[in-house]
Structure 1
Amino acid sequence: MRLGSEVVDQVLHTVSKSNSLEELTLENAGLKSDFPQKMASALSENPASVIHSLNLAHNTLDNQVVALFLPQNPLDPESRFTTRSLLFGALLRGCCADLSYLNLSKNSFSHRKARDSLPTFRQFFSSAFSLTHVSLASVRVPPDSLRALFLGLSNNPHISDLHLDISGCEALQSLSLADSRLRQRGTVLVNALGSNACLRKVDLSGNLLEDSGAKMLSKALQINTTLRWAFKQTRKVLCKQRRLCPC
């Protein structure tokens, strides 16, 4: 629903006064590029604001303008901020320490801009201490960005239980989680292999999956018809499928 300027002004007025409004969804509302700055002003007028979920998806918002909003007005934990632009620079400067829920699903990544922002992308995931949920579902994340994401997470000592959704990510054909000591948590990944139609190579060695994990992997491969190459400790199970290279 496209909102006129008068309606937007009323929404901003409510934000500036309300001490009970927790969620605000303005998805595909035809917001103009100056909206984030006006939103920042409204929030700065209301120190009692309890907004923790803000969805501005599918609006044409300039990345630099959006950056004005987040650093000045970090959202509370479990906030959600979704736009088409890459916001990791703004997130890093604004609410990096407190952000726990990040939903960027079904957004588009510019490959050229993604290359330019790789250091920031990696730094965000290595510095976001409160993250519990990250969704990049159905986002065509470039391989370099995906690698930066995992490198950032691997260097983040504060994250212990993170839900990462990269389903539908066509950039992803090879995945190595070697020596990650996933143990029983690795069964979640093993189950996902059954329905994954993109992966060609996988390395699950050094995760202590034991016999139960091997059995689950065998069942997953009865469904998966695209995986062709596996590493080290997983190869014995995979070779039983006969279609895989043991390497």
Structure 2
Amino acid sequence: MKLSLEVSEQILHMMSQSSHLEELVLETCGLRGDFVRRLAQALAGHSSSGLRELSLAGNLLDDRGMAALSRHLERCPGALRRLSLAQTGLTPRGMRALGRALATNAAFDSALTHLDLSGNPGALGSSEDSGGLYSFLSRPNVLSFLNLAGTDTALDTLFAALSRGCCTSLTHLDASRNIFSRTKSRTAPAALQLFLSRARTLRHLGLAGCKLPPDALRALLDGLALNTHLRDLHLDLSTCELRSAGAQVIQDLVCDAGAVSSLDLADNGFGSDMVTLVLAIGRSRSLRHVALGRNFNVRCKETLDDVLHRIVQLMQDDDCPLQSLSVAESRLKLGASVLLRALATNPNLTALDISGNAMGDAGAKLLAKALRVNSRLRWAGSEGWDQRAGGAVERRAPG
């Protein structure tokens, strides 16, 4: 909700007085840089403030506001545990000021666990870091959640920093919608491989929309193959323009990346390479959740049928650990009937996302018929069915 001037004044007064309030969340409230400057002044003049968690996400903050907040963060003895400045219009100048504050105040090394700077295009687009954010990330710290999606950071620079500072505690990393490198150096993929071979607690790695070249994808999977500490990792590689070359790399290495239990490969233009890609996925002993939607751009009907039957074999393989599968937004139309019929004899899948495939009433009838026999499936999604449940048909186990 948009905060009135009166309410904003009361919040500032409260922050200048309270020694016990630990968390302040003002997301998408129509705040501007002037409020942030005054908030920084209120906190700076209150030495016993207990504030440890701050979210100003969704408000448009200017450079002067960020400079004031950064000066306070640089000097305050009690560092924040959580900070979210997502979608606040951060510029490179504001990001440098924040980075310097994090790097200068050593208290953040042992306090800050959650940092969300996502949705600020261009904020990390400059190669000039000025001893800022990357310097903080390259030191030993306790960050467990880091979201830099859509900030124009270069992944090779980011992972070079993370491999030195965030290996032991980071569990969630979202670096989606960024570029891989600003240089053509052949050593760039090494940073990615090094971090993933050293990570100890990572559970989510988001690289969606990053346009990964084949050598970077190979370095990523090689790093995971070398890592004996990680388990149950969700890896999001959707919309990375992997195409045929990327499909080949995945086929070669996916079985060795035993840390990955959930893999999102949607919208990568695999086309006819899906035939061999599905076979490779079936050989993995660790994958339990796979998303393959928007990859069925196959002109030849025989090839499409081959892909769908390979998926059916995957679903019906007693030795395959796969539990959930998504072929969403693939416009399969009646081609999806092959998958629906297979549900009648499916021993493994508990979830199937078939939304966005334009199957109509015929698909609904096939699903209903399969559910009379299948007692394993717990969730199936499709467009146009039970919109109140988000287009999902859900069956709950007794009790």
Aligned match of 1:5: 64
Give the structure, 1 or 2, with the largest relative contact order (CA under 8 Å, sep 6 or more).
1
Partners of 2:202 and 2:230 within 8 A in 1? yes
* CA displacement at 1:91 relative to structure 2: 0.7
- 1:185-218 Cα distance to aligned partner (Å, 9 max, x none): 98x66xx67x645114212353479xxx9xx99x
- In 2: Cα distance, 1:179 partner to 1:151 partner: 9
Aligned match of 1:62: 127
**Secondary structure, aligned partner of 2:173:** strand
Partners of 2:171 and 2:204 within 8 A in 1? yes
**Secondary structure, aligned partner of 1:168:** coil
Q: Which amino acid aligns with 1:144?
A: D
- In 2: Cα distance, 1:47 partner to 1:22 partner: 12
- In 2: Cα distance, 1:179 partner to 1:40 partner: 37
* CA displacement at 1:147 relative to structure 2: 0.8
- In 2: Cα distance, 1:113 partner to 1:74 partner: 30
- In 1: Cα distance, 2:192 partner to 2:112 partner: 28
Deviates more, 1:160-169 or 1:96-105: 96-105
Partners of 2:140 and 2:164 within 8 A in 1? no
- Structure 2 unmatched runs, 5+: 1-59, 315-334, 336-399
- 1:219-240 Cα distance to aligned partner (Å, 9 max, x none): x89x924395989x959959xx
Classify 1:16/1:72 alpha carbon distance in 2 versus 1 (closer, same or farther; 3 Å).
Answer: farther
Partners of 2:238 and 2:268 within 8 A in 1? no
- Structure 1 unmatched runs, 5+: 242-247
- In 1: Cα distance, 2:83 partner to 2:243 partner: 33
> How does the TM-score come out when normalised to structure 2?
0.46
Aligned match of 1:146: 217
**Secondary structure, aligned partner of 1:115:** coil
- In 1: Cα distance, 2:107 partner to 2:254 partner: 50
Deviates more, 1:139-148 or 1:44-53: 44-53
Deviates more, 1:166-175 or 1:145-154: 166-175
Aligned match of 2:90: 29
* CA displacement at 1:16 relative to structure 2: 4.3
Q: Which amino acid aligns with 1:8?
A: A
Q: Which amino acid aligns with 1:38?
A: A
* CA displacement at 1:103 relative to structure 2: 0.9
Aligned match of 2:52: none
* CA displacement at 1:99 relative to structure 2: 1.3
- In 2: Cα distance, 1:159 partner to 1:208 partner: 15
Aligned match of 2:166: 95
Partners of 2:110 and 2:141 within 8 A in 1? no
Q: From 217, 230, 239, give the equivalent of 1:159.
A: 230
Aligned match of 2:298: 226
* Count, aligned residues: 224
1:77 aligns with 2:144: yes
**Secondary structure, aligned partner of 2:138:** helix
Q: Which amino acid aligns with 2:177?
A: K
**Secondary structure, aligned partner of 1:23:** strand
**Secondary structure, aligned partner of 1:98:** coil
- 1:37-77 Cα distance to aligned partner (Å, 9 max, x none): 23311x32567744512316431443654432222362422
* CA displacement at 1:130 relative to structure 2: 1.0
**Secondary structure, aligned partner of 2:202:** coil
- In 1: Cα distance, 2:282 partner to 2:108 partner: 52
1:124 aligns with 2:195: yes
Classify 1:172/1:126 alpha carbon distance in 2 versus 1 (closer, same or farther; 3 Å).
Answer: farther
Which runs of structure 1 show a deviation greater than 4 angstroms over 4 or more consecutive aligned residues? 18-21, 45-48, 227-231, 233-238
- 1:159-205 Cα distance to aligned partner (Å, 9 max, x none): 110011010010243131678399xx98x66xx67x64511421235
Classify 1:4/1:119 alpha carbon distance in 2 versus 1 (closer, same or farther; 3 Å).
Answer: closer
Identity within the alignment, %: 23
RMSD: 4.2
Q: Which amino acid aligns with 2:143?
A: D
Classify 1:208/1:127 alpha carbon distance in 2 versus 1 (closer, same or farther; 3 Å).
Answer: closer
Larger radius of gyration: 2
Partners of 2:208 and 2:239 within 8 A in 1? yes
* CA displacement at 1:11 relative to structure 2: 3.8
